[in-house]
Amino acid sequence: MTAIRLPQGLARRIPVRQILCLLPLALVLVVAVRHRSVLVEGFAHLATAQWPWLVAAVCATCLTWVAAAVTRQGSLVERLPALRLLATQFAAGAANHLLPTGLGASAVNLRFMTVCGVSLARSSAALALYLLAESIARVGLLLALLVAFPGALRLGALLPDRAVAPLLITVAAVLCVAVAVLLLVRRLRTAVFGFVHTALSEARSVHTRPTRVLALWGGSLAFPALQAAGLVMVGLALGLHVPVAHMVVAYLAATVAVALVPTPGGLGSVDAALVVALVAAGGPVAVATAVVLAYRIITLWLPLLPGALTLGALVRLKVI
């Protein structure tokens, strides 16, 4: 296999780092233009809302970045620089809305840890531990609330009886294919087993330190709880007559349901799932739609531009 190298003079003339700094801003512009009608309607709903609840929703959104930073630190034994870690989570939020299925945030955090001197294998293991802990916490919180409030969702509206069997068959088929590929492809099997060994070693090291355990699992629980609190506050601001606990359940159910949908930041899929979940919790369709649009303005669109600027600045400063 022959390596192809650019001439040295040409490589110097291409401002790679400057291009990487401007790329997030260009992507923000593209996304905003494509969803301009959603932006206009969402801001219109915000104008009619009760502002104290909106301020509380903004505060809850800001605290989600703190919770994410705490969880990231909890997944790694080495101490990361706190302020740069927090700025990275803010920038990762913007990257996450521009790339599908969490790839943006994962790439930003992986790069940040490697720049901080953590090996790529251990950075990947810490990333996997973070994702696993966050998933367990989110699903566990949802199950606990469903047990406490069994009537929070009319699940038949979300998942008709006829859809259960095809869904189970699809999940089983995907799992069988994944296992078969893993067993048949030797290189893939070796790589996966090596990664699992590294991840388990990292997880054991983290769980020998009480402060890391508290950060990992406390942050993992706080993150979805704060996200749900933001939705509740927007619902209260717009007069959505649904019990608070039911709104929390609706949020968790919607985000769990769309976790595997490969859209940037859940654009479209999360919005639709949230509306359906809020209606299943007993809210009127029109008000539920208004709440979701306003909530996504606060949590997605308002931080998107400053997050992209922060991302560009971190690239330029070689933090990531």
Tokens of 1: 């296999």
Query: Residue 156 CA to chain centroid, in angstroms?
Result: 27
pLDDT at site 170: 72
Q: Is it the case that residue 26 has pLDDT exceeding 70?
A: no
264 — phi, psi (to 5°)? -60, 120
Q: What is the pLDDT of residues 125-159, one digit of tens each?
A: 899 999 999 999 999 999 999 999 888 776 554 55
Helices 16-34, 36-47: crossing angle, 10 deg rounding = 70
pLDDT at site 196: 78
Distance (Å, whole) CA 314 – CA 85:
11
pLDDT at site 69: 96
Sorting pLDDT into bands at 50, 70 and 90, what band is 231? very high
Distance (Å, whole) CA 274 – CA 293:
10
Please report the DSSP string for the chain in residue order: -------HHHHHHS-HHHHHHHHHHHHHHHHHHHTHHHHHHHHHHHHTS-HHHHHHHHHHHHHHHHHHHHHHHHT-SSPPPHHHHHHHHHHHHHHHHHSBTTHHHHHHHHHHHHHTT--HHHHHHHHHHHHHHHHHHHHHHHHHHHHH-TTS--HHHHS-HHHHHHHHHHHHHHHHHHHHHHHH-HHHHHHHHHHHHHHHHHHHHHTTSHHHHHHHHHHHHHHHHHHHHHHHHHHHHTT--S-HHHHHHHHHHHHHHTTT--SBTTTTHHHHHHHHHHHHTT--HHHHHHHHHHHHIIIIIHHHHHHHHHHHHHHHTT--
Distance (Å, whole) CA 99 – CA 263:
7
Q: Is it the case that residue 47 has pLDDT exceeding 50?
A: yes
Q: Which residue has the higher pLDDT, 191 or 29?
A: 191
Sorting pLDDT into bands at 50, 70 and 90, what band is 10? very low
Q: Is it the case that residue 1 has pLDDT exceeding 50?
A: no
Whether residue 316 contacts residue 78, with contact meaning beta carbons closer than 8 Å, is answered with: no
Sorting pLDDT into bands at 50, 70 and 90, what band is 263? low
CA-nearest of 73, 54, 50 to 62 is 54
Q: Which residue has the higher pLDDT, 266 or 247?
A: 247
Sorting pLDDT into bands at 50, 70 and 90, what band is 209? very high
pLDDT at site 167: 56
CA-nearest of 65, 74, 66 to 217 is 74
Mean pLDDT of the chain: 81
Characterise 282 by phi-psi region: left (phi > 0), alpha (psi -120 to 50), beta (else): left
Q: What is the pLDDT of residues 14-23, one digit of tens each?
A: 555 555 555 5
Query: Taking residues 93-103, what's their average pLDDT?
Result: 73
Query: Taking residues 184-212, what's their average pLDDT?
Result: 82
Q: Which residue has the higher pLDDT, 228 or 165?
A: 228
Whether residue 247 contacts residue 235, with contact meaning beta carbons closer than 8 Å, is answered with: yes
Q: Is it the case that residue 289 has pLDDT exceeding 50?
A: yes
Whether residue 72 contacts residue 85, with contact meaning beta carbons closer than 8 Å, is answered with: yes
Query: Taking residues 259-277, what's their average pLDDT?
Result: 68
pLDDT at site 64: 96
Predicted model pTM: 0.79
